[in-house]
Amino acid sequence: MAELTLRDAISLGLREAMDNDPRVIIMGEDVGAYNGAYVVTKGFLEEYGESRIIDTPISEAGFVGAGIGAAMAGLKPVVEIMTINFSLMASDQIINNAAKIHYMSGGQYSAPIIIRTVTGGGAGLAATHSQSFEGFYATIPGLKVLTPAFPDDALGLLRTAFKDNNPILYCEHALLYNVRGEIPDDSSFEVPFGKAKTRRNGSDITLVGYGRSVHTALLAAEKLQERNVDAEVIDLRTLRPLDIQTLIESTQKTHRCVVIEETWATGGFGSYVAYEIQKNAFDDLDGPVLHIGGLDVPAPYARNLEIMTIPNEQWILDAVEKEFGL
Amino acid sequence: MQVLEKTEIQPSELLNLYRDMKIIRLFEEKCSQLYMQGKIRGFLHLYIGEEAIAVGLASALNEDDHIITHYRDHGHALARGLEPRAIMAELCGKATGTSFGRGGSMHIFDASKNFAGGHAIVGGHLPLAAGLALAAKQLNEDRIVVCFFGDGALNQGEFHETMNLASVWKLPVLFFLENNFYGMGSHIDRTFAGGSKVHTIADRYKIPNSRIDGMDVLAVREASIDAIAKIRKTSKPYLLEAVTYRFQGHSMADPVTYRDRDEVDKWRPRDPIALLKEMLLEAGHASEKLIGRLDEEANLTVEDATQFAESSPDPDPNDLTKNIYA
Ligand SMILES: Cc1ncc(C[n+]2csc(CCOP(=O)(O)OP(=O)(O)O)c2C)c(N)n1
Ligand SMILES: [Mg+2]
């Protein structure tokens, strides 16, 4: 077992793929000479050269589309969109091309592209640079959406992604890059898509999250323990495909469930997850399935305001107390 | 690899060009009828008047080269040699269609012919063209990419992003602009600030370019041969502007209120099929009788395709969700 940061786990996965498969290229804004805006591709340009580590102009629609076209014609491109906020310029390419080409061509063409992007708020970047659109992309058939919260999942999911023939959105939360964790030495270690992971076992309540909200849930679980409430914490890991079964089974055991996410609560992906749980575990529930999302406000800049908009462990504790008396 | 020389074209080849244009004309007229009968649904955009472009270009292209195009795509597909039966079946939403009834008129694909679609988001397929070319370059394949688009796409960011990418990355793409002066009902003079020499927009991107008479199939063929030879030799992009006119409305839903009859009448004598016929007769390459035989051949091809499409089964409902993922 080696301990790595989430950033280094991603770098490792990318290096392995670059070493193993000449069809893999990495392209995006500043992935080369600059070493990546979040320093994930540090040293890649020197090691692999300009033909495979391609710095692009600031043309998200152009280079994401080019990545999709290259994938249709035999390459395995990893395209980095600096942050998910800028994916909006490429959303036509992601939604209308990548997600559709296989179905619309009757299975003749496919687009095995991995789009890496950085998501999440909380870094004082204000309204245009603090958004979390992974849940929105997860509503689109044809895409797969991955949200690793720990280094082992970051590597394991990436390994699986390189073997998959579909367009994949791989979402890295900006505040999780320095999270450390154990990585299995076994080079065959992979994480399957559509399989949630129980990060903490408990019997009184189920807390469900993805990306950074898993960490928030784990903090809440520690605090709940002080109140003698034993919380189970489940990390979705992939939003599409989505593992509902694990959530149902956990909720049938604990009889209570809270779904937590950072994007705006209104229409959030978590509200759909909550719906599935209440529908399938209704008879076992001791109360409504709760959904905690971000405040419906453009992300403010000032620190004191910003912290009011993103769910933290206290939000979870308050909701659990109010709704379940725990 | 077959390198076409712009030498004297054989009379037999001229007759093929005539027949191929005629097939497209009759195919489109048949589509119009089937649409009125409710057998073709959705949007239907006819290529009547523009046949010389697809046929001239296709006669200059190798089998390994990619073609990618916009939604007015029947002509390109037929000229590329896709099965008329499968195209017509696709339009009729049948299981035997090119995409097994998943794409319809605007989304014709045939991977076996390197025909990478029919794309219905104006400008959206241009980045894909860059990607197809990037893959060919990266994989050391001797292929170029032809990307058709309309004058409407000139005003999309994706057009400019792709021109820039193709130039900066030296990609073997033939940008083939079909300038029929209208994007739906909007005349190019009211929408495009780049002046009447539209093709020179490529100058700014250091992409060589020229304009041709899109009603003259031989001019299209010669210019295509030249441009493609340049692209193969330099592995750099080229932009061709073919000036053309669509004789019908934008789609079947278009009552054509935005242009007067005089304008259409002015273009009538430029009908590309009539022009070639006249030339064949005058040069003594064909008799009226031979032309009549070619017309009949074209008619039989279209009748056969229609019969095939109409007698084909609907797609199996059990396959509805097939091919969402590869
Ligand atoms: C992004 C986008 N906006 C609007 C439309 C609706 N639309 C379909 S075709 C068209 C006109 C395009 O004209 P042009 O590119 O010149 O092609 P032509 O129809 O003349 O062949 C428009 C506005 C669309 N399909 N995609
Ligand atoms: Mg037009």
**Would you list the domain boundaries of chain B?**
11-264+287-306
- C-alpha B146/C-alpha B140 separation (Å) is 18
Tell me, yes or no, whether A37 and A173 share the same domain.
yes
- Cβ–ligand 1 distance for B72 under 6 Å, the answer yes
Tell me, yes or no, whether A67 and A173 share the same domain.
yes
- Cβ–ligand 1 distance for B214 under 6 Å, the answer no
Structure tokens at A98: 């990548």
Sequence-distant (≥ 6) Cβ neighbours of residue B268 within 8 angstroms? B247
- Cβ–ligand 1 distance for B48 under 6 Å, the answer no
pLDDT digits over A246-283, tens only?
A: 999 999 999 999 999 999 999 999 999 999 999 999 99
Tell me, yes or no, whether A222 and A166 share the same domain.
no
Q: What is the mean pLDDT of residues A151-177?
A: 98
A65 touching chain B per CB within 8 A: yes
A75 touching chain B per CB within 8 A: yes
Q: What is the mean pLDDT of residues B238-255?
A: 97
- Cβ–ligand 1 distance for B120 under 6 Å, the answer yes
Domain-embedded: residue A192:
no
- How far is the centre of ligand 2, averaged over its atoms, from the C-alpha of B19 (Å)? 25
A250 residue type, one letter: S
Measure CB to CB from residue A105 to each of B99, B131, B135 and give the nearest one. B99
Q: What is the mean pLDDT of residues B80-89?
A: 98
Structure tokens at A49: 């050269």
**B145 and B133 in contact (C-beta within 8 Å)?**
yes
Tell me, yes or no, whether A63 and A85 share the same domain.
yes
**How much is the mean pLDDT over chain B?**
96
Tell me, yes or no, whether A142 and A37 share the same domain.
yes
Three-state DSSP at A79 gives strand
Domain-embedded: residue A188:
no
| pLDDT at residue number B1 | 41
Cβ atoms < 10 Å from Cβ of A102: 24
pLDDT digits over B98-153, tens only?
A: 999 999 999 999 999 999 999 999 999 999 999 999 999 999 999 999 999 999 99
- The best mutation among B184, B186, B248 to test binding of ligand 1, ranked by most ligand atoms within 8 Å of the C-beta, falls on B184
- C-alpha B102/C-alpha B88 separation (Å) is 13
| pLDDT at residue number A185 | 95
Which residue from B minimizes the CA distance to A74?
Answer: B135
Which residue from A minimizes the CA distance to B322?
Answer: A103
Instruction: Please give, rounded to a whole number of angstroms, the shortest distance from the CA of B316 to a CA of chain A.
Output: 13
- C-alpha B326/C-alpha B323 separation (Å) is 6
Tell me, yes or no, whether A210 and A169 share the same domain.
no
- Closest ligand to the CA of B48: 1
- Cβ–ligand 1 distance for B122 under 6 Å, the answer yes
Tell me, yes or no, whether A289 and A252 share the same domain.
yes
Query: Which domain CATH number covers A6?
Result: 3.40.50.970
Sequence-distant (≥ 6) Cβ neighbours of residue A271 within 8 angstroms? A259, A265, A291, A293
For the cut 70, the answer to whether the pLDDT of residue A23 exceeds it is yes
Query: Which domain CATH number covers A248?
Result: 3.40.50.920
Cβ atoms < 10 Å from Cβ of A182: 12
Tell me, yes or no, whether A156 and A224 share the same domain.
no
Tell me, yes or no, whether A132 and A236 share the same domain.
no
Three-class DSSP labels, chain B: CCCCCCCCCCHHHHHHHHHHHHHHHHHHHHHHHHHHCCCCCCCCCCCCCCHHHHHHHHCCCCCCCEEEEECCCHHHHHHHCCCHHHHHHHHCCCCCCCCCCCCCCCCCCEHHHCEEEEECCCCCCHHHHHHHHHHHHHCCCCCCEEEEEEHHHHHCHHHHHHHHHHHHCCCCEEEEEEECCEECCEEHHHHCCCCCCHHHHHHHHCCCEEEEECCCHHHHHHHHHHHHHHHHHHCCCEEEEEECCCCCCCCCCCCCCCCCHHHHHHHHHHCHHHHHHHHHHHCCCCCHHHHHHHHHHHHHHHHHHHHHHHHCCCCCHHHCCCCCCC
| pLDDT at residue number B3 | 47
For the cut 60, the answer to whether the pLDDT of residue B2 exceeds it is no
Domain-embedded: residue A175:
yes
For the entire predicted model, the pTM comes to 0.96
Domain edge (last residue) among A139, A155, A183: A183
Q: Could you name the CATH architecture of B11-264+287-306?
A: 3-Layer(aba) Sandwich (3.40)
Please give the helix or strand (H or E) that residue A271 lies within, else none.
Answer: helix A269-280
- How far is the centre of ligand 2, averaged over its atoms, from the C-alpha of B207 (Å)? 21
Instruction: Please give, rounded to a whole number of angstroms, the shortest distance from the CA of B139 to a CA of chain A.
Output: 8
Q: How confident is the model at residue A1 (pLDDT cuts 50, 70, 90)?
A: confident
Domain edge (last residue) among A152, A183, A214: A183
Domain-embedded: residue A245:
yes
Measure CB to CB from residue B128 to each of A57, A69, A165 and give the nearest one. A69
Domain edge (last residue) among A158, A183, A208: A183
Q: Which of B235, B205, B209 lies closest to B136, judged by CA?
A: B235
pLDDT digits over B287-299, tens only?
A: 999 999 999 999 9
Structure tokens at B60: 């200059």
User: Which DSSP state fits A5?
Assistant: E
Domain-embedded: residue A189:
no
- The best mutation among B46, B122, B189 to test binding of ligand 1, ranked by most ligand atoms within 8 Å of the C-beta, falls on B122
pLDDT digits over A89-146, tens only?
A: 999 999 999 999 999 999 999 999 999 999 999 999 999 999 999 999 999 999 999 9
Domain-embedded: residue A191:
no
Cβ atoms < 10 Å from Cβ of B65: 22
Please give the helix or strand (H or E) that residue A25 lies within, else none.
Answer: strand A24-28
- How far is the centre of ligand 2, averaged over its atoms, from the C-alpha of B151 (Å)? 5
Catalytic residue positions of A?
60, 129
Chain A residues in contact with B116 by the CB 8 A cut-off are 69, 72-73, 109
Contact A69 B130 (CB under 8 A): yes
- C-alpha A234/C-alpha A249 separation (Å) is 11
Contact A109 B116 (CB under 8 A): yes
| pLDDT at residue number B281 | 97
Instruction: Give how many domains chain A has, as a whole number.
Output: 2
Which residue from A minimizes the CA distance to B112?
Answer: A108
Tell me, yes or no, whether A123 and A17 share the same domain.
yes
Q: How confident is the model at residue B324 (pLDDT cuts 50, 70, 90)?
A: very high
Structure tokens at A171: 């979402």
Containing domain of residue A257, as a range? Answer: 197-324
Tell me, yes or no, whether A39 and A166 share the same domain.
yes
Instruction: Please give, rounded to a whole number of angstroms, the shortest distance from the CA of B9 to a CA of chain A.
Output: 33
- Closest ligand to the CA of B120: 1
- Atom number in ligand 1 closest to CA B153: 15
Domain-embedded: residue A168:
yes
Tell me, yes or no, whether A143 and A177 share the same domain.
yes
Which residue from B minimizes the CA distance to A111?
Answer: B326
pLDDT digits over A46-75, tens only?
A: 999 999 999 999 999 999 999 999 999 999
Chain A residues in contact with B66 by the CB 8 A cut-off are 73
Instruction: Please give, rounded to a whole number of angstroms, the shortest distance from the CA of A76 to a CA of chain B.
Output: 9
A56 touching chain B per CB within 8 A: yes
